[in-house]
Structure 1
Amino acid sequence: MPIDPAAFRTAWPQVVRSLAVTTRSLDSGEEYAAEAFARAAAQPDGTIDDLVGWCVQVGRRTWLDAMRHEAVFTRLQPQIARPEVAAVDVPTDPGVPGGDLDDRLALLFVACDDALAPGAQLVLAMRVVCGLTIRQIAGHLGIAEATAAARLTRAKAALARARGEFVVPDGDARAARLPVMLTCVAGLFTVGQRDMPLPPDATQDPARDALTLAEALVAQYPDDPEVLGLRAVCRLGLARRPGRVRDGVALPLDEADRSVWDHRLLSAGLDDATAAIARAGPPDRAPGRFALEAAISGVHATAPDAAATDWSRLAQLYDALLRAWPSPATRVARLVVLGRLAMRDHRDLAPIERELEDLVADGPPYAARDASLALADLARRTGRSDEAAGRYRELLDVIPAGPLREFCRRHSG
């Protein structure tokens, strides 16, 4: 029975969470869920009415069989019979830790356990909860695929050693894990926007999944400026996505068709961005990363066209963001804005291009790629056609198939 992708994406976190409660292990919950879905796919059409319930039952029976094979079923029977373990439904009682949470959010809280190193938290959350592939995770973090795979294995083992059983945190423990969770959701959104600017369908859309998680986070933390800022970034990015691609080719900012933007989502995102900045604290306290990113997105979203964009304001915001989040990605984006200002004011681009060259040489792969794109764009805009074409040809070797690669191909010869 082929499983509908949309049904799978809805059912997967519910089944994993329920089996993790049963087995007291996130790793085992994922393993038995995968086995259950594989068996569901092998069933004849029409035999499964409730995919979640069927997979939970099959996963639980498979786990019990494994326990019997290890000759410990008798010892474990009292624990297995406990109501909170035996129930098929995911707990929804707010009195149960994690019972008030969306299933994917509950798993995200578990994966972002502060007993794990930050890098391990990110890999575990992005793989198990966000559903990114090892290749996508490695590309986003700027590490080798083997390193990402090893971190995932170590993270699962470390989580089992540290906690012993699957437990969704509550209270202060959730608050402590929130910053890493925001980083994970932002990473999911970035991967979706970068790798899938034109998703094949709604069931294969990491950016839309990120918005769903951001909305669940806002439901839990409605007054947190960073949570609101993250939702603003997701909303504004998705609102502007319809104008990013034409005939399978990515469009630069100057050519984006702003008339097809989703203005309902745009308005909601601007409301979030305004609220995030307003709640970020007193004027002498700098806003956080996501409140600033929301403000940056808001500047782009409210400009009638690229020429009318407030590049000076963007430069100020990126200076603040560089202090709050001094990442290679921020450095590249800031240099792009400074390049726009230099061209507008007829100033020398050489210092900016030297900084971009440094990032190409020494930055992580994703930053080196974006810096190369920025250098190619500067060369194209300043009439250095041969240089621009050469840089776009080099980028064809590192950019995966898709609209952005087609843009590079179009300008490479």
Structure 2
Amino acid sequence: MPIDPAAFRTAWPQVVRSLAVSTRSLDSGEEYAAEAFARAAAQPDGAIEDLVGWCVRVGRRTWLDTVRHQAVFARLQPQLARPEVADVDVPPEPSDDLDDRLALLFVACDDALAPGAQLVLAMRVVCGLSIRQIAGHLGVAEATAAARLTRAKSALARARGEFAVPDGAARAARLPVVLACVAGLFTVGQRDGLQPADATQDPARDASTLAEALVAEYPDDPEVLGLRAVCRLGLARRPGRVRDGVALPLDEVDRSAWDGRLLSAGLDDATAALARVETPGRPGRFVLEAAISGVHATARDAASTDWPRLAQLYDALLHVWPSPATRVARLVVLGRVALHDGGDLAPIERELEDLLADGPPYAARDASLALADLARRTGRADEAAGRYRELLDVIPAGPLREFCRRYAGSP
């Protein structure tokens, strides 16, 4: 029977978690879950009423069969071959109320792993991103991302042995990496899916769901609230960004199409996040990103956006989160300020050229888009068209590619 994509995305983390507990291995939990879902897809329509329960049972039986065969062949545990093998000690189902996807995220973000390995493992096993998407987000080759994934699974098994969801104190220690993973998932969704054809295949909405679950666990944490604000405001502003399959520049976005309910909820989160910052004047990454999204969300149009305020916020963000993406976004804002005030664009364009030459692929792409935009806005039509034509070779099919085609003058 064909498995509904939405049902699969809901069931997958629950099945993986249950089987990881049973097999005492995250890697094995994922392997047997995949086998169970493959068998479920081969069943006749209507044969399965409870997809999660069916897959957990099939996955456990498949694992037990493997244990039996390995035991017989290796002659290490002959008792497993006796009829009473059905009494093999299988750990109970998870008893806490932690969302299954969050539970797997906290497992993947183990401090025994290097930060890069944590991100790769979480994004692949929990968030379901492809190796290509992960490589693009991290700015590494696909082979490098795949190798990190393999090493991360092995390192986690060596460091922790049996699969176990960390307790409250360990979760708190891992929370910053978990937030970074969810933010990465949202970024991938917003960058690659301005107008998703299938809502069930939308990483940005998946990230928003995870942010909701995180707020349920940490309702007073400013960074958690800030991340939910970023997700809500980003999704609220998504409508109106595409017309006839072509992404629109900020000046042409139809702001009347924005989701008012989500916009209001996101602004409430951004305000609450800032109010909960323990050290005045020292907000963290996601509180600042929420404030930046809030400035965009409350502007009547692009011209009335408070670009100087955005420049201040990006200066602060660059201090706490000095990523290439932050550098590009800050330079875009500084370019807007310079255009409004008649300032010198040359140093801004030089820094963007440096990022284009030496930055990771996603930052280089964004820097190229920024340079093309500045050229277009300052009347350098031929230069802008040339840059947009070059971008056609690196941006995948979709609204953003059609935007570049529009200004490149390509058929």
Measured against the shorter chain, the TM-score band is over 0.9
The change in CA–CA distance for 1:76 and 1:225 in structure 2 (over 3 A counts) is farther
Q: Contact 1:67–1:73 at 8 Å: present in 2 too?
A: no
Give the match's secondary structure for 2:269: helix
Which residue of 1 is the match for residue 261 of structure 2? 264
Deviations along 1:245-295, one digit per CA (max 9) or x if unpaired, are 111111111100000100000000000001111111232x41000000000
Of 306, 315, 322, which aligns to 2:318? 322
Of 350, 354, 371, which aligns to 2:346? 350
Which residue of 1 is the match for residue 274 of structure 2? 277
Which residue of 1 is the match for residue 305 of structure 2? 309
Give the match's secondary structure for 2:29: helix
The change in CA–CA distance for 1:333 and 1:80 in structure 2 (over 3 A counts) is farther
Q: Higher mean Cα deviation, 395-404 or 67-76?
A: 67-76
Counterpart residue identity of residue 260, structure 1: A
Give the match's secondary structure for 1:304: coil
Which residue of 1 is the match for residue 335 of structure 2? 339
Q: Contact 2:79–2:85 at 8 Å: present in 1 too?
A: no
Which residue of 2 is the match for residue 167 of structure 1? 164
By how many angstroms is 1:358 displaced?
0.3
Which residue of 1 is the match for residue 69 of structure 2? 69
Q: Contact 2:68–2:80 at 8 Å: present in 1 too?
A: no
Q: Distance in 1 between matches of 2:260 and 2:35?
A: 43
The change in CA–CA distance for 1:73 and 1:328 in structure 2 (over 3 A counts) is farther
Deviations along 1:322-372, one digit per CA (max 9) or x if unpaired, are 001011000000000000000001112111000000000010110000000
Which residue of 1 is the match for residue 377 of structure 2? 381
Counterpart residue identity of residue 359, structure 2: G
The change in CA–CA distance for 1:254 and 1:43 in structure 2 (over 3 A counts) is same
Q: Higher mean Cα deviation, 195-204 or 66-75?
A: 66-75
Q: Distance in 2 between matches of 1:56 and 1:165?
A: 18
Counterpart residue identity of residue 391, structure 2: L
**Alignment of 1:405 onto 2:410:** no
Moved over 6 A (4+): 76-80
Which residue of 2 is the match for residue 96 of structure 1? none
By how many angstroms is 1:68 displaced?
1.0
Give the match's secondary structure for 2:238: helix
Q: Higher mean Cα deviation, 174-183 or 274-283?
A: 274-283
Give the root-mean-square deviation of aligned CA atoms: 1.5
Q: Contact 1:245–1:251 at 8 Å: present in 2 too?
A: yes
Deviations along 1:297-316, one digit per CA (max 9) or x if unpaired, are 00000000000000010000
Which residue of 2 is the match for residue 211 of structure 1? 208
What's the TM-score, normalizing by structure 2? 0.96
Which residue of 1 is the match for residue 18 of structure 2? 18
The change in CA–CA distance for 1:49 and 1:198 in structure 2 (over 3 A counts) is same
Counterpart residue identity of residue 91, structure 1: P
What's the TM-score, normalizing by structure 1? 0.95
Aligned residues: 403
Give the match's secondary structure for 1:400: coil
Residues 14-413 of structure 1: matches in 2 within 5 Å? 14-71=14-71, 72=77, 74=79, 81=87, 85=91, 87=92, 90-92=93-95, 99-283=96-280, 285-413=281-409
Q: Contact 1:20–1:27 at 8 Å: present in 2 too?
A: yes
Q: Contact 1:64–1:73 at 8 Å: present in 2 too?
A: no
Q: Distance in 2 between matches of 1:58 and 1:411?
A: 54
Give the match's secondary structure for 2:198: coil
Counterpart residue identity of residue 133, structure 1: S
Q: Distance in 2 between matches of 1:123 and 1:68?
A: 33
Give the match's secondary structure for 1:243: coil
Deviations along 1:20-66, one digit per CA (max 9) or x if unpaired, are 01000000000000000011111111111111111111101110111
By how many angstroms is 1:140 displaced?
0.2
Q: Distance in 1 between matches of 2:402 and 2:69?
A: 54
Deviations along 1:188-246, one digit per CA (max 9) or x if unpaired, are 00000000111112211100000000000000000000000000000000000001111
The change in CA–CA distance for 1:131 and 1:23 in structure 2 (over 3 A counts) is same
Task: Give structure 2 stretches of 5+ with no counterpart.
Answer: 72-76
Q: Distance in 2 between matches of 1:36 and 1:180?
A: 30
Q: Distance in 1 between matches of 2:282 and 2:377?
A: 34
Q: Distance in 1 between matches of 2:97 and 2:248?
A: 42
Which residue of 1 is the match for residue 74 of structure 2? none
Q: Contact 1:22–1:80 at 8 Å: present in 2 too?
A: no
Q: Distance in 1 between matches of 2:245 and 2:57?
A: 44
Aligned-residue sequence identity (percent) comes to 85
Q: Distance in 2 between matches of 1:79 and 1:235?
A: 50
By how many angstroms is 1:376 displaced?
0.2
Q: Contact 1:108–1:125 at 8 Å: present in 2 too?
A: yes
Q: Higher mean Cα deviation, 75-84 or 357-366?
A: 75-84
Counterpart residue identity of residue 398, structure 1: V
By how many angstroms is 1:91 displaced?
2.4
Q: Contact 2:68–2:81 at 8 Å: present in 1 too?
A: no
